[in-house]
Amino acid sequence: MPATAPIHFTVFPDDCDSYGHLNQASAVRLFERARWAALAAGPGMDAFTRNGVWPAVRKSTVEYRAQAFPGDELRVTLELTHHGHTSFTMRQTAARVGDGTLIAEAEFVFVCVDAADRPAPVPAEISRFFGARPSMRPGETQELPVRGTSLAVDVLGDGDPVLFVHGFPLDRTIWRPMAATLTGRRRIAPDLRGFGRSAPPDGECTLSTYADDLAALLEALGAGRAVVCGHSMGGYIAFEMLRRHRDRVRALVLVNTRAVPDDDEARAARDAMIARVRRDGPGAIVDDLLPRLLAPATRETQPHVVEQVRRAIIGGSGEGVAQALAAMRDRPDSRELLDGIDLPVLVIAGRDDAIVPAAESRAMAAAIPGAHLAMVPDAGHLAPLEQPVNTSRLVGEFLDALA
């Protein structure tokens, strides 16, 4: 039978034993997490309970093949190998993305039981899902033609759309921890033009270029109005969407971002960075940016986050990064928009943000009628990655309140 699309995980230190390699119990947990993530991205995590059954594990077999360590990215596959009336069997593997090493393989036999603990038929929507309808493949990055370019986008789940707009010089993967938990909504996370797997720009970009791309992307996905969740430069773009595509914006989540434009000093710094990136590529700015993007605590205790950010920066195209710097340098003053925003707004700030100081976020939230400010402890400029659980909970509560 066909397999569903693989799920990716980073190994965290708390997944490991005292020798620093993946603990056997954590491997079982990762396999289970992959199954729920697959459901979350497809029919929903409640696909069993809403059909009145629960999948009880009757048998599990795991073969441990190799060690994995904190920071390793694992690719976990799922394949339905047997489908009976009340039971089904799944084969799963976990392999390291970097070198393809098989870390573990497993087989799980499930029996669906009802509330009285009696075997019950496997729900048809579960069977259909694990039969892998192409439109529901979880975690699959699509490449969509939009306004003469190609944008890479992850689309997960169904429900009210939430558009996640990454900051500079990152990509859609900063939203993965959040997108995995905010189930029950259609989570749309694109790479902006020139970043990640989207095509490099073929001309000058301004904030309106990105805002128009995103409006066209929502149109292409049939997504109507979305809650726009913008991180830093993504927040600048969210303001631009308010200016140009107000009808597409249902509510705003403004994460580690500001309304104030660049002053002369900041503009000069952008010019210097543009010259450097054009000369030496995005790798040349990694060491300057990392200490500003991440809180000291993150740099000391979360090497996998440092590595993910480093990889995202290096992965952008030089011209994409240079164009984004110019777009940010020339961005308009968005303070004039703030008191006219008549949408629900959540402002999220990192207490240790070295780029957008917490006081600036506080002032921005205070200027938007009815906006709520949430301060995330132990987070720098990248709260969604540095404190994913806390940040996702804040966004989840905001989205629940909207619904």
Query: Does 194 participate in binding ligand MLT (rule CB under 6 A)?
Result: no
How much of the chain is helix, strand and coil, in % rounded to 5? 40, 25, 35
Residue 60 parent element (H or E): strand 54-64
Query: Does 255 participate in binding ligand MLT (rule CB under 6 A)?
Result: no
Compute the distance between CA of residue 201 and CA of residue 149 in angstroms, rounded to an integer.
8
Residue in 76, 328, 346, 364 binding ligand MLT, rule: CB under 6 A: 328
Compute the distance between CA of residue 42 and CA of residue 37 in angstroms, rounded to an integer.
9
Per-residue x/- track, 206-245, ligand MLT (CB under 6 A): --------------------------xx------------
CB of 373 to ligand MLT, least distance (A): 19
Compute the distance between CA of residue 130 and CA of residue 4 in angstroms, rounded to an integer.
6
Closest C-alpha to 242, from 339, 172, 324? 339
CB of 167 to ligand MLT, least distance (A): 3
Query: Does 341 participate in binding ligand MLT (rule CB under 6 A)?
Result: no
Compute the distance between CA of residue 47 and CA of residue 208 in angstroms, rounded to an integer.
40
Size of site (CB under 6 A) for ligand MLT: 7
Contact present, 48 and 126 (Cβ < 8 Å): yes
CB of 323 to ligand MLT, least distance (A): 13
Question: Of 211 and 355, which has the nearer Cβ to ligand MLT?
Answer: 355
Question: Of 16 and 294, which has the nearer Cβ to ligand MLT?
Answer: 294
Burial, 314: exposed, middle or buried (Cβ in 10 Å; 0-12, 13-18, 19+)?
A: middle
Query: Does 273 participate in binding ligand MLT (rule CB under 6 A)?
Result: no
Question: Of 178 and 233, which has the nearer Cβ to ligand MLT?
Answer: 233
Compute the distance between CA of residue 401 and CA of residue 253 in angstroms, rounded to an integer.
13
Query: Does 167 participate in binding ligand MLT (rule CB under 6 A)?
Result: yes
CB of 290 to ligand MLT, least distance (A): 12
The contact set with ligand MLT (CB under 6 A) reads 167-168, 232-233, 328, 355, 381
